[in-house]
Structure 1
Amino acid sequence: MLDREGFRPNVGIILLNARNQVFWGKRLRTHSWQFPQGGIKHGETPEQAMFRELHEEVGLLPEQVRILARTRDWLRYEVPEHYIRRDARGHYRGQKQIWFLLRLMGRDSDMNLRATDHPEFDAWRWNEYWVPLDVVIEFKRDVYQMALTELARFLPRPNHHNRYLRSGMRPHRQEEGAQRSALSLDGGVPPAATTSE
């Protein structure tokens, strides 16, 4: 299903864990990493397509995530001609996407890359939100940058006081003020951390 300009409607998914790290999947039998994404079928809303793709590619169910935001408009990227099937050339130009920002409410162990008979990914990892995009195939990098930038303002603010409450200590007033300053400078994004699975 293409629009008049040759773009296929599609959804992209930025999935966050509790530390505001994002899910990256490694495409089957390749060295390229990407966010979950997929086409919108005839009669589906973008949200319905997002939940279907989330289950097909990552194995998560709607109750295991919470929608935090979505892009206001379609974000487009063109696919280089040598990636387009010969019979589609001249008609198909690329993808137009609605991007969703989701919070994982379940556990890492809820992920299942083999939820369907046609897996998209063979590995996954958490990366910091602003990880360099050089692992993404070149023609998708601009749209990833646009989606991450537009949705960054909806990132949940981490609660920096939890470490004191767990230890039974109360933060000192001066330290509280310093933490507020840091939040305003770095946007509340936690320091870089990467884990793999």
Structure 2
Amino acid sequence: MPARPDRQSLPYRDCVGIAVFNQQGDVFIGRRKAEGDPEQSAELGAPWQMPQGGIDKGEDPLKAALRELHEETSISAVSLLAEAPEWIYYDLPDDALGIALKGKYRGQRQRWFAFAFTGKDDDIDVLNPGGGKHPAEFDAWRWEKLGRLPSLIVPFKRDAYDKVVEAFADIPRRFNLG
């Protein structure tokens, strides 16, 4: 078995995270497909999360968020509500280091955006996202209360999700959702 890389020698991967709020003030969460996903193995726990993905070199984070959202959910009918005030980090657990995220990163540095969903639930397609142009990352989805998300996420991302909840907790009230 190859030796695990030194955590401190690995960089964070720059990513975006997306919180999509419906008119009731709930957020979209998807259930990650487990097969072939070292970041989401059965022993890591709950497979639910909000959409997220890498920022391409030179790509604007907001554009990356809109692209990733469409690639993972087919959602394109959104309106920007807020951006988290700072980057939110998470580290991979030791047993995933050198395996998950193509083995190149210690975790992720995420820029989070909150959007209002302005489409219809029928527009959401996680099984054939982006009109079938992208591989499915989720096998199911639902609307959920933002405050419940840290208890539904894989344990190593909980601190990051606590920060997302804190950054966006006032959105349903501030924008009269729900």
TM-score normalised by length of structure 1: 0.71
Match of 2:154 in 1: 137
Question: Deviation per CA, 1:169-188, whole angstroms, max 9, x where unpaired?
Answer: xxxxxxxxxxxxxxxxxxxx
Aligned mate of 1:108, from 121, 134, 151: 121
The one-letter amino acid paired with 2:65 is: M
Aligned residue in 1 for 2:54: 39
User: How many residues align structurally?
Assistant: 155
Q: Is the 8 A contact 2:147 2:169 kept in 1?
A: no
Secondary structure of 1:69's partner?
Answer: strand
- Report deviation, 1:109: 0.7
Cα-Cα RMSD = 2.3
Q: Computing the radius of gyration over CA atoms, which structure comes out larger, 1 or 2? A: 1
Partner of 2:17: 12
Structure 1: give runs of 5+ residues left out of the alignment. 160-188, 191-197
Percent identity between the aligned chains?
A: 37
Higher relative contact order (CA 8 A, sep 6+): 2
Secondary structure of the 1:134 match is helix
Per the TM alignment, residue 155 of structure 1 is displaced from its structure 2 partner at its CA by 3.0
- Stretches (4+) displaced over 6 A: none
Counterparts of residues 11-160 of structure 1 (less than 5 Å): 11-29=16-34, 32-61=47-76, 64-86=77-99, 92-113=105-126, 114-115=128-129, 116-131=133-148, 133-157=150-174
TM-score, normalised with respect to structure 2: 0.78
5+ residue gaps in structure 2?
A: 1-8, 35-41
Aligned CA distance change for structure 1 residues 53 and 134 (closer, same or farther; 3 Å) = same
